[in-house]
Amino acid sequence: MSILLIGRNGQVARELQLCLRDQPLVVLGQQQLDLGDAAAIRRQVRELRPQLIINAAAYTAVDQAEQDADNAFAINASAPGVLAEEAAGLGAPLIHYSTDYVFDGSKSAPYVETDETAPLNVYGRSKLAGEQAIRAVGGEHLILRTSWVYASHGRNFLLTMQRLLQEREELKVVDDQIGAPTWAGTIAATTLRLVEHWQNGNAGPWGVYHLSGLGETSWFGFAGAIGERLRAAGKPCARLLPIPASAYPTPAQRPANSRLDGSRLQREWQVILPRWQTAFDEAMKSNYASVEVP
């Protein structure tokens, strides 16, 4: 029962390779597959004929996407649609990852899967278009929306904060954007549970689900948790100052509320999502965040 994983070096893709190491896994990274080439995607999938496809590849440079919309849409929208078509042709389910940025953040409570989407930036619009392309095909699929992803590799808030907190005496961090940090290891471990349920004939309903850490914090709160770890390890740590998002303008607008309600995934697929603090503790204990300033 072969599984095709699209993506090799991204945060989620690397964790998936660890979690799925006992599965019959075929991995195609950027070197092996150009997601901007629909014909190449079709050719690879038809040659491999997998029983399950997991798409962990994405264009994730949120600010850069504002000036690079064509590439963002090619990778985040067109490619998932092609993968969905090929998966459906094989009778294979597709697991695909999306984002909290499909919402505008105006809701006062955590978002559920049926809430209206209204992305604020090019990245969010490209990811929403990918969701729509997959749903339009109509095959078996899981679209897993997640938020504030971090890992020990790649470019993410955790690694950036670790570096800056050790380099500076004072650091200003946005405190009026709320969400839940989600460890890539949590996403991968949850995906493994979903795959195992499917393999055992216990799949829940297909469709869109929210997969993120439980609970909530701000970017300032997450930075504070990172700082506590640095101080506990005897490392230097800057003094943190909270600021509004308006004081830190970026090319791409971010939603003020990125909270996702993950209760449907737990209810329908019987997987337990951890609180974001629990996952963060596990990540740190696993030497997932021991970056040192040169």
Q: What is the CATH number of the domain that holds 203?
A: 3.40.50.720
Q: Which region, left, alpha or beta, applies to residue 270 given φ > 0 means left and ψ of -120 to 50 means alpha?
A: left
Q: Give 54's strand partners.
A: 5, 95
Give a yes or no: residue 123 inside a domain. yes
Q: How many domains does the chain have?
A: 1
pTM for this prediction: 0.92
Token code pair at residue 274: 């951890």
The C-alpha angle 26, 55, 71, rounded to 5 degrees, equals 120
| C-beta of residue 206 within 8 angstroms of C-beta of residue 141 | yes
With a cut of 50, list the residues of the chain below it in pLDDT: 288-294
Give a yes or no: residue 175 inside a domain. no
Give a yes or no: residue 60 inside a domain. yes
Give a yes or no: residue 242 inside a domain. no
What pLDDT is recorded for position 155?
A: 84
Q: Strand, coil or helix: what is 99?
A: strand
Q: Strand, coil or helix: what is 170?
A: strand
Find the domain containing 61 and state its range. 3-154+181-214+259-275
- Four-point Cα dihedral 49, 50, 54, 57, nearest 10: -40
Cα first-last separation, the chain:
45
Q: Strand, coil or helix: what is 154?
A: coil
Q: What is the pLDDT of residues 193-210, one digit of tens each?
A: 999 999 999 899 999 999
What pLDDT is recorded for position 106?
A: 96
| C-beta of residue 74 within 8 angstroms of C-beta of residue 36 | yes
Give a yes or no: residue 167 inside a domain. no
Q: Are strands 178-179 and 25-28 parallel, antiparallel or unpaired?
A: unpaired
The C-alpha angle 96, 282, 24, rounded to 5 degrees, equals 40
What pLDDT is recorded for position 112?
A: 97
Of 217, 206, 209, 105, give the one whose Cα is nearest residue 150.
217
Give a yes or no: residue 108 inside a domain. yes
State the amino acid at position 159 in one-letter form. L
111 is a catalytic site residue: no
Of 218, 194, 221, 215, give the one whose Cα is nearest residue 205.
194
Give a yes or no: residue 247 inside a domain. no
Q: How far apart are CA 100 and CA 147, in angstroms?
A: 5
Q: Among the options 111, 123, 150, 209, which is catalytic?
A: 123
Backbone angles phi, psi at 18, to 5 degrees: -70, -50
Render the burial of 114-151: b for 16+ CB within 10 Å, e for the rest. eeebebbbbbbbbbbbbbebbeebebbbbbbbbbbbbb
Give a yes or no: residue 264 inside a domain. yes
- H-run or E-run covering 209: strand 207-210
